[in-house]
Amino acid sequence: MKPEIRALVASALIQWFDADHHARTKWGKARDVDRVNWLRCLPFVLLHIGCLGIFLVGWSWTAIGVGAALYLIRMFAVTGIYHRYFSHRAFKTSRAAQMVFAIMGASSAQRGPLWWAANHRHHHRASDTPADPHSPVHSSFFRSHAGWFMSTRYYATQYHRVRDFAHFPELVWLNRFDKAVPAALALLVYLGGLALEYGAPYLGVTGMQLFVWGFVLSTTVLFHATASINSLAHVFGRKRYETGDESRNSFWLALLTLGEGWHNNHHKHMGCARQGFYWWEIDVTYYVLKFLAWLGIIWDLKPVPHTAYDPAYQIPLASMIRRHPRSSERAPSFSCQAPRDFQSSKPGPDGNRVVL
């Protein structure tokens, strides 16, 4: 094996355990490199293949229930913690609770809290421009949904975008070894299944069955539900506000993601703890945050500004329902590559968007 290939393989394997290793390699320093390192992404690929295991291990109501529960708990961790807290600082909490929340978010297997927040803040700075990491307007559906997540360009954590949290050494450590939490959760789910298999055989659960349903399938569905906000919520739905991008509100995505589907609301007032601005806009994440505030675990939830309810501030109803028009000459694309006009360019100015 050539030394260059050997070094690339070794680097990819190390990245399975040390997420910050990539930034110290020549591939990590070459920020314009935009390709998929399939060896590094192998755990992500195997997670999807592992979903086929449901046909081998059978099913039980217990396994389905555990999978659903872990989906809901971790979806809240992504939406309420990774998104509304670490990305937008929509509320305050103690340092101890912050770490517990970060561990909950890391269990989603969507990388560390600082990596997640740094990329999301960059998304708001450049929403639906060629510099946006995951815009379906300027790239393919696959690129905006999962391709960017697999790209070497966005693998390293841009700590300068999250200086407000990067001074906490415990968060930096968790962000660096972000695979440890989902790996520990997977082991606990499997061991829990074994305990039920021998301790409560009437439930019909096995260790492998609980592992496949409770972790593998649950984690995979969780990823794609989260990613649908990046891809689908910038194409389908209604626009209540003019935001300078193609963010949309979607009732169905809001149900699937516990409130994140009110994406146009969010892009207009990104610092709010609440994304469903009206009572009929279901926002389960906000309801949980309110409960945590009542318990005293979090506080200072940022409210929706009064101007958000002013009809003069909103797009007329007749203009709200439409799908983003794509050129009739543009064929559907499933490429992992970034838009050609950005593959060797630098991010543009911030414009009038504000990162909180």
3-state secondary structure (DSSP) of residue 86: helix
Q: Is residue 250 part of a domain?
A: yes
Q: Which amino acid is at 196?
A: L
Segment 93-107 mean pLDDT: 98
d(C-alpha 41, C-alpha 33), whole Å: 16
Q: Which two tokens stand for residue 320?
A: 């709200």
User: Residue 196: pLDDT above 50?
Assistant: yes
Instruction: Kindly report the average pLDDT of the chain as a whole number.
Output: 86
The better pLDDT of the pair 318, 92 is held by 92
The percentage of the chain sitting over the pLDDT mark of 90, rounded to a whole number, equals 72
Averaged over 249-266, what is the pLDDT?
97
Name the residue range of residue 76's domain. Answer: 3-320
Give 69 or 36, the one with higher predicted confidence: 69
For 127, other C-beta atoms within 10 Å of its C-beta total: 22
Identify the weakest region by mean pLDDT among 8-22, 154-168, 235-249, 296-310: 8-22
Please tell me the least confidently modeled range out of 37-41, 115-119, 306-310. 37-41
- Alpha-carbon distance 242 to 345, whole Å? 27
* pLDDT of 189: 98
Domain presence at residue 342: no
Res 51 pLDDT > 80: yes
Q: Does the residue 84 lie in any domain?
A: yes
CB 297 within 8 A of CB 308: no
Banded pLDDT at 111 (limits 50, 70, 90) = very high
For residue 34, how far is the Cα from the chain centroid?
20
Task: Determine, yes or no, domain membership for 330.
Answer: no
What's the predicted TM-score (pTM) here?
0.86
Is it the case that residue 187 has pLDDT exceeding 50? yes
> Does residue 354 lie in a domain region?
no
Q: What is the pLDDT of residue 23?
A: 59
Mean of pLDDT values over 317-344: 41
Strands (E), the chain: 92-93, 298-299
Lowest mean pLDDT among 142-146, 156-160, 171-175, 337-341: 337-341
Angle of the 42-50 helix axis to the 218-231 helix axis, nearest 10: 110
CA-based nearest residue to 209, from 334, 16, 64: 64
pLDDT digits (tens, 9 = 90+) for 206-220: 999 999 999 999 999
Spatial distance between the Cα atoms of 59 and 166, rounded to a whole number of angstroms: 43
According to the model, what pLDDT value does residue 7 have?
67
Strand runs labelled E in 4-44: none
Which residue is it, tokens 């992404």?
A: 41
> Which has more confidence, 30 or 238?
238
Q: In this predicted structure, what is the pLDDT of residue 319?
A: 54
pLDDT band at 31 (very low <50, low <70, confident <90, very high): low
- Rounded to the nearest angstrom, the gap between the alpha carbon of residue 290 and the centroid of all alpha carbons in its chain is 22
pLDDT above 90 (res 305): yes
Query: What is the tens place of the pLDDT at every residue in 271-304?
Result: 999 999 999 999 999 999 999 999 999 999 999 9
Look at residue 5 in the predicted model and tell me its pLDDT. 64
Task: Please report the pLDDT score of residue 290 as a whole number.
Answer: 98
34 compared with 133, residue with greater pLDDT: 133
Report the relative pairing of strands 298-299 and 92-93 from DSSP bridges: antiparallel
> Which amino acid makes up residue 354?
V
**Which of the four pLDDT bands, split at 50, 70 and 90, describes residue 348?**
very low
Residue 24's pLDDT is what? 57
- How many domains would you assign to the chain? 1
Mean of the pLDDT values across residues 146-173? 94
pLDDT for 232 beyond 80? yes
Task: With respect to residue 255, please indicate whether it lies within any of the assigned structural domains.
Answer: yes
Position 25 confidence tier, pLDDT thresholds 50, 70, 90:
low
- In-domain check, residue 302: yes
Is residue 239 a part of any domain in this protein?
yes
Output the pLDDT for position 22.
64
Residue 332, pLDDT > 80, answer no
Distance separating alpha carbons of residues 205 and 194, to the nearest angstrom: 8
Q: Which single residue is written with the structure tokens 């005293």?
A: 296
Q: In what helix (H) or strand (E) does residue 184 lie, and over which residues does it extend?
A: helix 180-199
How distant, in Å, are the alpha carbons of 75, 107, 148, 162 from that of 95? 22, 19, 31, 16
